[in-house]
Amino acid sequence: MNKIALIIRREYVTRVRKKSFIIMTLLTPFLFALIFIIPALVMTNEDKDFKKIAVIEDGSDLFKNVIPDTKDTDFEYLEGVKLNDIRNNFSEMGYYGVLYISPDLVANPDAIQLISRKQPPIGLLDHISGSLEKEIEKQKLLAYNIENLDEILRTINTSVRIQTIKMDETGSARETSTGISMALAYIGGFLMYMLVFMFGSMVMRGVIEEKTNRIVEVIVSSVKPVQLMLGKIIGVALVGLTQFALWIVLTLALVMVVKTNLLPEGAMEQIQQLPQSFAEADQASAAGTSGTTISAEQLTEFQKIFAGALSMPWGLIIFSFVFYFLTGYLLYASLFAAIGSAVDNETETQQFMMPVTIPIILGLVVAMGTMQNPESSLSFWFSIIPLTSPIVMMARIPFDVPAWEIALSMGLMLLTIVGAVWMAAKIYRTGILMYGKKTSYKELWKWLTYKG
């Protein structure tokens, strides 16, 4: 054990001192932090220039003063003016653009144009289209001679939100969120795929590098090949855990620093107050003071999302992620180490990589489908089979997998790791000192069945 500990220490210290480790450890948190920072920057740098838009209809007053002004935009209805009169000089007249509404708009939704020098923001287009859509609907209903039309339109506006309740066998119930479960399934499955493949292949490259440089010949004179393999696998695992932990800590630190010192005051608060803004916007729309198409149901949707997030079994999710990361890594790192010991350079690994990478990729594909149907037989079996269970089970756990399925999956993972390490050790013991000979599957079988 002392020798394995020395190898682990050597692998760990050597790798964390590499420039590539330091660069990736420092660079990745910046990329993660941008995910949180950019939305705040976009919101605080939105287009706030005041716009005046000329509205022209060809001999019709159907949509006169239908589009309400906003705090950033005024709509000026021009009577007796033709589009060609100001089409080329509207900018000199102080207008941001010209909105031309054809009399055929009721029958043809495409009979409208917004002419401007710049690309108009999507919020402006939504405001215009939303206001006109409501007016067209109103005019169509007026054809049926319905009285109190405005009041009727307000009262019939209805939305249905399904509250999902899950009950266990004991009869206890709790509210769930399919959206949150799907998001966690995607994140958990993809992260597991990325980390297992990335750190597992790191072991293979390390074995090939030492074998190519003949360093391994010196090392195996003092330790057994199996001890060297285990030390390398565990050492790289600790490097991976260290890097992952640093990514989380540095990302949070960067977000806090940028939020405190670089973002304009109140930027992050704007994001946090989005639900309230949505509700206020909808209230204004209902009162007829704004043509916004933002729905008040979004407020309830945000509340449901947060409530659903709090109701998730976070303890089980975190424990399962750590377990499947460690066991999935040990399983695939053993296979990658065996491949690295059987070849002389990275080019020769291609013939052996496919049987190892196919289960990983297949697990990711099934995990994406699991988000839609976590109870399917395909999802069940792939979450039990050890080669794919680290990815697929992580995609199923947010959907409340029965405890016996998780226990079965974890038990099979542990048993498979023992077999994989034994098999990899047999190949590693022979292949690590083999040079100048291209290894075949037949040769690998001989090393596995060799009794000596």
Pick out the chain residues at pLDDT < 70. Answer: 1, 35-48, 59, 145-147, 149-150, 153, 156-179, 216-218, 220-221, 258-311, 436, 451-452
In the numeric block, the tokens 């206001």 are attached to 131
Q: Tens of pLDDT along 219-231?
A: 766 777 778 888 8
| Domain containing residue 104: CATH number | 3.40.190.10
Q: Tens of pLDDT along 91-118?
A: 888 888 888 888 777 777 777 888 888 8
Residue 279 CA to residue 65 CA, distance in Å, equals: 25
Q: Are residues 202 and 297 in the same domain?
A: yes
Q: Are residues 28 and 91 in the same domain?
A: no
Q: Establish if 160 belongs to a structural domain.
A: no
Q: Are residues 221 and 90 in the same domain?
A: no
What lies within 8 Å, CB to CB, of 222 at 6+ separation is: 3
Q: Are residues 270 and 353 in the same domain?
A: yes
Q: Are residues 272 and 308 in the same domain?
A: yes
Q: Establish if 343 belongs to a structural domain.
A: yes
Q: Establish if 425 belongs to a structural domain.
A: yes
Residue 75 CA to residue 85 CA, distance in Å, equals: 18
* pLDDT score of 162: 57
Q: Are residues 22 and 98 in the same domain?
A: no
Q: Establish if 352 belongs to a structural domain.
A: yes
Tell me phi and psi for residue 175, to 5 degrees: -80, 140
Q: Establish if 43 belongs to a structural domain.
A: no
- Specify the pTM: 0.64
Domain tally, the chain: 2
Q: Establish if 41 belongs to a structural domain.
A: no
Q: What is the dihedral of CA 312, 316, 318, 321, to 10 degrees?
A: -120
Output the CA angle 429-430-433, nearest 5 degrees.
Answer: 100
Q: Is 176 helix (H, G, I), strand (E, B) or coil?
A: strand
Q: What distance lies between CA 45 and its chain's CA centroid?
A: 25
* pLDDT score of 369: 85
Q: Are residues 79 and 25 in the same domain?
A: no
Q: Indicate if the alpha-carbon torsion angle 346, 350, 351, 352 is positive or negative.
A: positive
Structure tokens at 275: 């639900």
Q: Establish if 44 belongs to a structural domain.
A: no
Q: Are residues 28 and 131 in the same domain?
A: no
* pLDDT score of 408: 95
Amino acid sitting at position 87: R
Q: Are residues 320 and 382 in the same domain?
A: yes
Burial class (CB in 10 A: 0-12, 13-18, 19+), 69: middle
Q: For 148, left (φ over 0), alpha (ψ -120 to 50), or beta?
A: left
Domain extent for 267: 2-36+178-449
* pLDDT score of 284: 46
Structure tokens at 393: 């089970």
Q: Establish if 96 belongs to a structural domain.
A: yes
